[in-house]
Amino acid sequence: MATVTKRHTVDEYFEVEFASEERHEYIDGEIIQLVGGSYSHNHIQMNLYRRLLRDFDEPNFRVCGESTRIKVGDPVSYLFPDAALAAGRGELEDRRRDTLLDPLAVFEILSPSTERYNRGRKAELYRSINSLQYYVMISQEEIAVECFSRRPDGQWLQKRFIGLDASVPFESLNWSLSLAELYRYVELSTE
Protein backbone atom coordinates (compact mmCIF):
# COMPACT_ATOMS: atom_id res chain seq x y z
CA MET A 1 0.00 0.00 0.00
CA ALA A 2 1.42 3.37 -1.02
CA THR A 3 1.62 6.21 1.48
CA VAL A 4 -0.04 9.44 0.49
CA THR A 5 1.86 12.61 1.29
CA LYS A 6 -0.28 15.69 1.84
CA ARG A 7 0.26 18.26 -0.87
CA HIS A 8 0.45 21.82 0.43
CA THR A 9 -0.52 25.05 -1.25
CA VAL A 10 1.95 27.91 -1.63
CA ASP A 11 0.02 29.85 1.02
CA GLU A 12 0.35 26.91 3.44
CA TYR A 13 4.08 26.80 2.73
CA PHE A 14 4.49 30.48 3.57
CA GLU A 15 2.44 30.05 6.77
CA VAL A 16 4.85 27.30 7.87
CA GLU A 17 7.91 29.23 6.71
CA PHE A 18 7.05 32.51 8.42
CA ALA A 19 5.97 30.83 11.68
CA SER A 20 9.15 28.77 11.99
CA GLU A 21 12.73 29.56 12.96
CA GLU A 22 13.94 26.88 10.53
CA ARG A 23 14.01 27.36 6.79
CA HIS A 24 11.91 25.24 4.44
CA GLU A 25 11.86 24.67 0.72
CA TYR A 26 8.72 24.07 -1.30
CA ILE A 27 8.68 21.82 -4.33
CA ASP A 28 5.41 21.26 -6.16
CA GLY A 29 3.30 20.90 -3.00
CA GLU A 30 5.96 19.31 -0.77
CA ILE A 31 7.47 21.21 2.17
CA ILE A 32 11.06 20.21 2.99
CA GLN A 33 12.84 21.36 6.17
CA LEU A 34 16.46 22.36 5.64
CA VAL A 35 19.23 21.21 7.95
CA GLY A 36 22.06 23.37 9.30
CA GLY A 37 25.51 23.34 7.78
CA SER A 38 28.72 21.93 9.23
CA TYR A 39 31.73 24.00 10.26
CA SER A 40 33.38 23.24 6.89
CA HIS A 41 30.20 24.23 5.05
CA ASN A 42 30.02 27.55 6.88
CA HIS A 43 33.69 28.34 6.30
CA ILE A 44 33.45 27.61 2.56
CA GLN A 45 30.30 29.74 2.43
CA MET A 46 32.03 32.69 4.14
CA ASN A 47 34.97 32.45 1.72
CA LEU A 48 32.52 32.41 -1.19
CA TYR A 49 30.59 35.44 0.14
CA ARG A 50 33.83 37.34 0.71
CA ARG A 51 34.90 36.75 -2.88
CA LEU A 52 31.49 37.52 -4.41
CA LEU A 53 31.10 40.72 -2.39
CA ARG A 54 34.61 41.86 -3.24
CA ASP A 55 34.23 41.29 -6.98
CA PHE A 56 30.55 42.18 -7.47
CA ASP A 57 30.14 45.17 -5.15
CA GLU A 58 28.66 47.38 -7.82
CA PRO A 59 25.22 48.45 -9.07
CA ASN A 60 25.29 45.95 -11.95
CA PHE A 61 25.04 42.93 -9.63
CA ARG A 62 23.43 41.77 -6.41
CA VAL A 63 25.01 39.12 -4.18
CA CYS A 64 22.40 37.10 -2.28
CA GLY A 65 22.97 34.99 0.81
CA GLU A 66 21.35 31.86 2.20
CA SER A 67 18.27 33.74 3.44
CA THR A 68 17.27 34.73 -0.11
CA ARG A 69 14.69 32.37 -1.54
CA ILE A 70 14.59 31.61 -5.28
CA LYS A 71 11.29 30.93 -7.05
CA VAL A 72 11.04 28.43 -9.86
CA GLY A 73 7.96 28.60 -12.05
CA ASP A 74 7.26 25.05 -13.25
CA PRO A 75 6.54 23.26 -11.03
CA VAL A 76 6.11 26.14 -8.58
CA SER A 77 8.95 25.78 -6.12
CA TYR A 78 10.81 27.92 -3.61
CA LEU A 79 14.45 27.03 -2.96
CA PHE A 80 17.22 28.36 -0.72
CA PRO A 81 20.71 28.32 -2.27
CA ASP A 82 23.86 28.82 -0.21
CA ALA A 83 24.58 31.91 -2.35
CA ALA A 84 23.33 33.49 -5.57
CA LEU A 85 24.25 36.30 -7.92
CA ALA A 86 21.73 38.43 -9.80
CA ALA A 87 22.04 41.14 -12.44
CA GLY A 88 21.25 44.69 -11.37
CA ARG A 89 19.05 44.76 -8.31
CA GLY A 90 17.49 41.41 -9.20
CA GLU A 91 13.78 40.93 -9.81
CA LEU A 92 11.94 40.12 -6.58
CA GLU A 93 8.56 38.55 -5.96
CA ASP A 94 6.15 40.95 -4.24
CA ARG A 95 5.11 38.67 -1.36
CA ARG A 96 7.87 39.77 1.09
CA ARG A 97 10.59 40.97 -1.27
CA ASP A 98 12.92 38.17 -0.16
CA THR A 99 12.37 35.89 -3.15
CA LEU A 100 14.62 36.28 -6.19
CA LEU A 101 13.14 35.48 -9.60
CA ASP A 102 16.13 35.93 -11.93
CA PRO A 103 19.45 34.58 -10.61
CA LEU A 104 22.48 34.51 -12.93
CA ALA A 105 24.44 32.06 -10.76
CA VAL A 106 23.46 29.74 -7.93
CA PHE A 107 25.94 28.14 -5.52
CA GLU A 108 25.27 25.05 -3.38
CA ILE A 109 27.72 23.54 -0.90
CA LEU A 110 27.29 19.78 -0.89
CA SER A 111 27.18 17.54 2.15
CA PRO A 112 26.54 13.79 2.41
CA SER A 113 22.96 14.48 3.52
CA THR A 114 22.15 16.97 0.72
CA GLU A 115 24.36 15.92 -2.19
CA ARG A 116 21.85 13.65 -3.92
CA TYR A 117 19.07 16.24 -3.61
CA ASN A 118 21.33 19.10 -4.85
CA ARG A 119 22.57 17.05 -7.82
CA GLY A 120 19.14 15.71 -8.72
CA ARG A 121 15.81 17.37 -8.11
CA LYS A 122 17.17 20.74 -7.03
CA ALA A 123 19.65 20.97 -9.94
CA GLU A 124 16.88 20.20 -12.41
CA LEU A 125 14.67 22.94 -10.95
CA TYR A 126 17.44 25.53 -10.94
CA ARG A 127 18.41 24.77 -14.55
CA SER A 128 14.81 25.44 -15.61
CA ILE A 129 15.18 29.13 -14.67
CA ASN A 130 15.61 31.12 -17.89
CA SER A 131 17.99 33.71 -16.42
CA LEU A 132 20.33 31.15 -14.83
CA GLN A 133 23.73 30.88 -16.50
CA TYR A 134 25.64 28.89 -13.84
CA TYR A 135 24.78 26.23 -11.28
CA VAL A 136 27.78 25.55 -9.03
CA MET A 137 28.13 22.63 -6.59
CA ILE A 138 30.96 22.88 -4.08
CA SER A 139 32.23 19.82 -2.20
CA GLN A 140 33.06 19.97 1.48
CA GLU A 141 34.67 16.52 1.46
CA GLU A 142 37.34 17.22 -1.18
CA ILE A 143 38.73 20.26 -2.97
CA ALA A 144 36.38 20.03 -5.93
CA VAL A 145 33.77 22.16 -7.65
CA GLU A 146 31.32 21.17 -10.38
CA CYS A 147 29.93 23.88 -12.58
CA PHE A 148 27.01 23.62 -14.98
CA SER A 149 27.10 26.50 -17.45
CA ARG A 150 24.43 27.29 -20.01
CA ARG A 151 25.73 27.41 -23.57
CA PRO A 152 24.31 29.88 -26.12
CA ASP A 153 22.18 27.05 -27.62
CA GLY A 154 20.54 26.52 -24.20
CA GLN A 155 22.31 23.23 -23.48
CA TRP A 156 24.14 22.78 -20.18
CA LEU A 157 27.86 22.01 -20.08
CA GLN A 158 29.16 20.29 -16.93
CA LYS A 159 32.80 20.62 -15.85
CA ARG A 160 34.60 19.50 -12.70
CA PHE A 161 37.50 21.44 -11.20
CA ILE A 162 39.81 19.74 -8.69
CA GLY A 163 42.67 20.95 -6.50
CA LEU A 164 43.95 24.22 -5.10
CA ASP A 165 45.50 25.23 -8.45
CA ALA A 166 42.15 25.13 -10.26
CA SER A 167 39.82 28.06 -10.99
CA VAL A 168 36.23 27.94 -12.19
CA PRO A 169 35.69 30.24 -15.21
CA PHE A 170 32.47 32.25 -15.48
CA GLU A 171 33.02 33.47 -19.03
CA SER A 172 29.87 35.55 -19.47
CA LEU A 173 30.72 37.40 -16.22
CA ASN A 174 34.41 37.83 -17.14
CA TRP A 175 35.24 36.32 -13.74
CA SER A 176 36.80 33.22 -12.23
CA LEU A 177 36.63 31.61 -8.80
CA SER A 178 39.89 30.29 -7.39
CA LEU A 179 39.59 27.05 -5.43
CA ALA A 180 42.56 28.17 -3.32
CA GLU A 181 40.47 31.16 -2.14
CA LEU A 182 37.30 29.12 -1.77
CA TYR A 183 38.98 26.50 0.44
CA ARG A 184 41.27 28.90 2.31
CA TYR A 185 41.69 27.70 5.92
CA VAL A 186 38.97 25.06 5.44
CA GLU A 187 39.31 21.72 7.21
CA LEU A 188 37.44 19.36 4.93
CA SER A 189 34.40 17.66 6.45
CA THR A 190 34.46 13.96 7.23
CA GLU A 191 30.76 13.65 8.21
Q: CA angle 47-18-27, nearest 5°?
A: 75
109-149 confidence digits (pLDDT tens): 998 888 899 999 999 999 999 999 999 999 999 999 999 99
Q: Torsion angle, CA of 106/140/160/113, rounded to 10 degrees?
A: -70
For 35-182, give the CATH class: alpha beta
41-55 confidence digits (pLDDT tens): 999 999 999 999 999
**DSSP label at residue 187:** -
pLDDT tier for residue 1 given thresholds of 50, 70 and 90: very low
Q: What is the mean pLDDT of residues 147-176?
A: 96
